[in-house]
Amino acid sequence: MEDLRSLAKFVNDSIQQIGDSYSRRGMTFPFLEEPFAAGNANACYDDPVVKQAAANAIAAAAQIAAIVRPPSDTIILTSHQDLHVEEIARLAFISANRLSRILRLLASEHIFAEVEPDVFANNRISSVIDTEKTLEEIPANPEGKYVGTSGIATVVDHIVHHGQKSSAYLTETLLGPKTAFSEQPTDAPLNRAFRTDLTVWEWLELPENKHDLRFFSMAMRGNSKILPADAILNGHDFSALTAGSVVVDVAGGVGSQTVLLARAHPNLRYIVQDRAAMSGEMQQNVSVFFMRMILHDWPDDKCIVILKNLRGAAQPTTKLLILEFLLSFAVPTTASGIQDDDTPKPPAPLLLNAGHAGLLPHLYDMTMMVGMNGARERTLEQFGALFDASGWKIERVYRAPYFVNAHSQIVLVPV
């Protein structure tokens, strides 16, 4: 019972901290039933104290639930206008009987609100995925369904359409004789789900998948609303570079990270090289290479190829910055030999990976598993093995605090 009492105290103390922060700013904590309002709904979360208190409360509450909820129950859980389910079903051309069961399940998890029997409304959570388009507009222009939204709804669409369908084949993939130990990207659950022998990237680029590719691209932009986009600025000191130093955004796509850097440090020279890391045709005389969310797309052997190609192009003074999630163990470890004691740790008796509050990187890891097979999120120890095999060593780690869902930054130097 002592753990339960400690956890309950964390919840109470965290609520007090959040309330104090809102009071100091003259703000009122929003009700769950209120619609999500972009721009001010998360205004108080720019206070690190509030972020940490919220993470503590979430983790502690989830741990309390895991302790007191019967295991048999746990295993199966994992426009602000009121409308009767019959009216929603009529507008959406769906069975009212089935829809009401789905909505009630979601409302039981506080996604939507059942304001009267069989009458449902958006709340703060469900309104995040509201496209703000009418049920007449969407069928008339399905390609424009998510245009003008934050993109978060597109992330949900991607998870449901690609991730959950593929997850249905995870068991067969894990146990299948051909795929059980395969790291090949064409042996993913997605390949079984969508009956393709192509990698996910090749499959998305097929002409018949133009719609999927468009929504996937929008979902990736939507990720920027979920994860802080400025992680590149929170670590390595770019101001220490001399004017004109070359910074290369490796596999940088349209260069969104480069734009952030260029605004903060306009005296440097920037180059975006989107696919050169795999071919080995890298820019020479570079001060800093950086990669954001690239290595998690590839199995270990391909990561080593990329890292070796960068090592071959590096000078003795070149730095390589890796921006990725860093998975944490739930228990203490010093196996990496890299200490980052300045990073706040969850207080006991919370799990050292923050438990429920730290789930997002692990959910991303599962997404990589079902969609790309050998691709994965990694621990610092797993990254260290890649660096050892490719001629790099860790100079410093800027780990994101456990109460912030953000990418960490690993600074590497050539061996």
Task: Write out the H or E segment, with its range, that includes residue 209.
Answer: none
HEC profile of 64-93? HHHHHCCHHHHCCCCCCCCEEHHHHHHHHC
- The first and second tokens of residue 336, run together, are 């990496």
Question: Is 296 annotated as catalytic?
Answer: yes
Do 393 and 413 meet the contact criterion of CB atoms below 8 Å apart? yes
Q: Which of 183, 80, 69, 59 is nearest to 132 (CA)?
A: 80
323: phi then psi, degrees, rounded to nearest 5 = -110, 110
DSSP state letter for 43:
G
Pick the catalytic residue from 84, 296, 356, 362.
Answer: 296
- DSSP for 266-322 reads TTSEEEEESSHHHHT-PPSS-SEEEEES-GGGS-HHHHHHHHHHHHHH--TT-EEEE
- Alpha-carbon gap, residue 364 to 387, rounded angstroms: 22
Q: Which of 184, 178, 201, 190 is nearest to 374 (CA)?
A: 184
Handedness of CA 115, 117, 119, 124 (dihedral sign): positive
- Alpha-carbon gap, residue 343 to 369, rounded angstroms: 28
- Alpha-carbon gap, residue 349 to 60, rounded angstroms: 9
Which residues form the catalytic set? 296
